[in-house]
Chain A
Amino acid sequence: MLQLNDVHTWYGSVHALRGVSLTVGEGEIVSLLGGNACGKSTTMKTILGWVKPRSGEVIFGGQRITGKRPPQIVDAGIAPVLERRRMFPQLTVRENLMMGAWRRRDTAGIAKDIDKMAEIFPVTASRAGQAAGTLSGGEQQMVAMARALMARPKLLIMDEPSMGLSPKFVRTIFDLIIELNRREGLSILVVEQNANMALSIASRGYVLQTGEVVIADTADALLNNPQMQKAYLGIA
């Protein structure tokens, strides 16, 4: 479904991605792991068209999307749930959801999807008229996910969904991710620092280090990899 082939991305003279290749299959949950400044966010920005890679290609659904503009990439079917949730704070929860459907013109379908979101994320209904900025972090994460789904994506990219949330809420969020994947057959790329949590739901994982994929394996293998346990999983 999504395929990155030897992608090199530069910020001015900084070589941020040094040949990243990865794939996300249809209906698969894949996690992209790594510490700070390893290139996780740059990978996401490159996929979304926010930065253009200098070489390499991004293929989505059989179509080359390298260098396309962000609105076209949304149209192609990729929606991100951004780091720190990024609500439109003074807009209501409902308006936030409506913004998620920005590129869609099917009013009836949008209304239907809002009802559907109310089912999956009850908070989007109970707080529909409330300014999104007044919600708690966990509630905002729910709204952020619902907002991204309003675009009817084929691939959901989640950037640090666990950041700033209590462990209990992180569990809830990850359970929801699994459910979405099962119910909708949605492909999901989880970009995370919380390697334990991310690998517990993913089928495969990639570990990035200074702009390069250093390990690519199945989730189980990664969880048992001694190098991984030492560096990312907190098991000495």
Chain B
Amino acid sequence: MPQIVKDTLENSPMILFLAALVIAPFVIPNQYIVQIMVFIGIYVILAQSLNLLNGYIGLIAIGHAGFYGIGAYTSAKLTVDAGLPFELAFLCAGLVAGAFGWALGRPTLRLEGIYLALATLGFNLIVWLVLLNWNSFTGGPLGIKGIPRPTILGWEVDTRTEYYFFILAVVVTVVFTMARLVNSRFGRALVAIREDQLAAAAMGVDVTRYKVQAFVISAFYAGIAGACYAHFVRYISPDSFTMLESFILLAILALGGSGNMIGPIVGAAILIAIPELFRAVAEYRMLLYGLVLIIIMQVRPQGLFGGHHYNLHLRLFDRGPRRTYRGDAFLPSEAEQ
């Protein structure tokens, strides 16, 4: 069998799933559902971004909404005030967030476990406070209004359905590039550092360099997600980038599982859809949200798709041999001496 046929067959579930996503808005022409799917898409990008840190390199970052917010405000400011074309602003959102990732990562990545977690949490808090109080630049609590709809190389993304396709394209790109990344030598370094940082250093893996790089790349993707959000809702305020948002991302990884490509997607789909599905019993939906997490932690602490394969031979959408490890990428590995 020619290799291309083999590859296609091997990835057929993924291709079918993608095809279903493409025809979905035509089969279900419900604008409300399309909107939820756009949000799921944005959270898939965010979850993949955080997964690189929490799942692959084993760094506990709990302030990811900070980068998300920086991306959203960068893109909004550049299009509204500076009149930059969307494509450029979109890219800048990622680059600026990545630059902040570097600035935060350089000094803090020597910290381990809970200390790093607190530093990232502090970062999130600072970003939120600056957005809230720097009235002349960020608009303070009023935020930024009238963010333009995106125009991509002449294509005006007008309707929700069109935006859905735009997000789908971004998500596919993000997942594909991320899968390539974690399957590369770079990805192997991340996994080795997660498994045992000291041993990785002893093999000659440049631990600090990989940590900073992973942090910057992760921040870049979170910034992209911010731009996707800003141009969809077209009005942003600091309240969308609080610590609650960071915790939702952690919950997505806890539910879906981390350290592979599928977990974050499943987690985002479930956790973003649940509150909407139970809108009828609105007062109780956060309760349900919490209940789902408690049950998952009890019956499957590694998450729905966590712990599937922790080996290095990751394929696209990893279907490596099953492992029954209860290892949890969420917790710091054995304490450093």
Tell me which of B189, B311, B323, B325 contacts A95 (CB under 8 A): B311
**Cβ of B203: which chain A residues have Cβ within 8 Å of it?**
74, 99-100, 102-103, 147, 151
Interface segment out of the listed A17-25, A84-92, A114-122:
A84-92
The answer to whether B191 and A91 touch across the interface, beta carbons within 8 angstroms, is yes
**A:104-144 near B, CB below 8 Å:** 131, 133
Q: Complex Cα distance A168/B271, Å? A: 54
**Among candidates A70, A89, A95, A100, residue contacting B201 with C-beta atoms closer than 8 Å:** A70
Which residues of chain A come closer than 8 Å to B198, judged between CB atoms?
82, 86
Closest-by-CB residue of A relative to B193 is A88
In the complex the two chains form, is B199's CB within 8 Å of A74's CB? no
A164 at the interface (CB under 8 A from B): no
Chain B residues with CB below 8 A from A71, complex form: 204-206
User: In residues 5-60 of chain A, which contact B (Cβ within 8 Å)?
Assistant: 48, 50
Q: Is B196 an interface residue (CB 8 A)?
A: yes
Chain B residues contacting A50 (CB-CB under 8 Å) are 201
Assess whether B327 is interfacial by the CB under 8 Å rule.
Answer: yes
Complex Cα gap A71–B206 (Å): 6
Instruction: Among A86, A88, A90, A92, find the residue whose CB has the most chain B CB atoms closer than 10 A.
Output: A90
A70 touches B204 (CB 8 A): yes
Q: Convert A54-83 into 0s and 1s, putting 1 for each residue whose CB lies closer than 8 angstroms to a CB of B.
A: 000000000000000111001100011010
List residues 308-324 of chain B with CB under 8 A from any CB of chain A: 310-312, 323
Task: Determine whether the beta carbon of A75 is less than 8 Å from that of B202.
Answer: no
Report chain B residues within 8 Å CB of A151. Answer: 203-204
Cα distance, A112 to B188, chains bound together (Å): 21
The residues of A that contact B196 with a CB separation of less than 8 Å are 86-89
Q: Which residue of B lies closest to A83 (CB)?
A: B337
- Report chain B residues within 8 Å CB of A69: 206
Chain B residue with Cβ nearest A80: B202
- Which residue of chain B is the closest to A69 with respect to CB atoms? B206
Q: Do A74 and B204 touch (CB < 8 A)?
A: yes
* Interface positions of A from 160 to 209, Cβ below 8 Å from B: none
Interface flags for B164-192 (1: CB within 8 Å of A; 0: not) read 00000000000000000000000011011
CA of A21 to CA of B205, assembled, Å: 28
Contact of B192 among A48, A70, A88 (CB under 8 A): A88
**Residue tally, chain A, CB below 8 Å to B:** 28
Closest to A72 in B: B204
Does chain A have a CB within 8 A of B200? yes
Contacts of B189 in A (CB 8 A): 102
Whether, in the assembled complex, B245 has its beta carbon less than 8 Å from a beta carbon of chain A, the answer is no
In the bound complex, residues from chain B placing their C-beta under 8 Å from that of A88 are 191-192, 195-196, 199-200
Question: Nearest chain B CB to A49's CB is how many angstroms away?
Answer: 9
- When distances are taken between beta carbons in the complex, the residues of chain A under 8 Å from B188 are 99
Contacts of B199 in A (CB 8 A): 82, 86-88, 99
**Within 8 Å CB of B312, what residues of A?**
91, 95, 98
| Contact (Cβ within 8 A) B202 A86 | yes
- Asked if residues B204 and A92 are in contact (CB atoms below 8 Å), the reply is no
Instruction: Check B195–A90 contact: CB distance below 8 A.
Output: yes
**Interchain CA distance A87-B192 in the complex, whole Å:** 10
Cβ 8 A contact of A89, one of B200, B206, B327: B327
Q: Name which residue of chain B comes closest to A89, CB basis.
A: B195
Cβ contacts under 8 Å, A103 to chain B = 203-204
> Assuming the A-B contacts A82-B198, A99-B192, A131-B325, are A90 and B204 also in contact, with contact meaning beta carbons closer than 8 angstroms in the complex?
no
List 6 interface pairs A-B (beta carbons < 8 Å), by A numbering.
A70-B202, A86-B202, A88-B192, A89-B196, A99-B199, A148-B202
Q: Kindly list the 9 A-B residue pairs having the minimum CB-CB distance in the complex, ordered from nearest.
A: A74-B204, A88-B195, A90-B310, A86-B199, A103-B204, A71-B204, A102-B203, A95-B312, A80-B202
Given A74-B203, A86-B199, A90-B327, 14 extra CB contacts under 8 A: A48-B202, A70-B206, A71-B205, A82-B199, A86-B198, A88-B192, A88-B195, A88-B200, A89-B196, A89-B327, A90-B311, A90-B325, A91-B310, A95-B312
Q: Which residues of A contact B (CB under 8 A)?
A: 48, 50, 69-71, 74-75, 79-80, 82, 86-92, 95, 98-100, 102-103, 131, 133, 147-148, 151
Interface on B for A, CB 8 Å cutoff? Answer: 188-189, 191-192, 195-196, 198-206, 310-312, 323, 325, 327
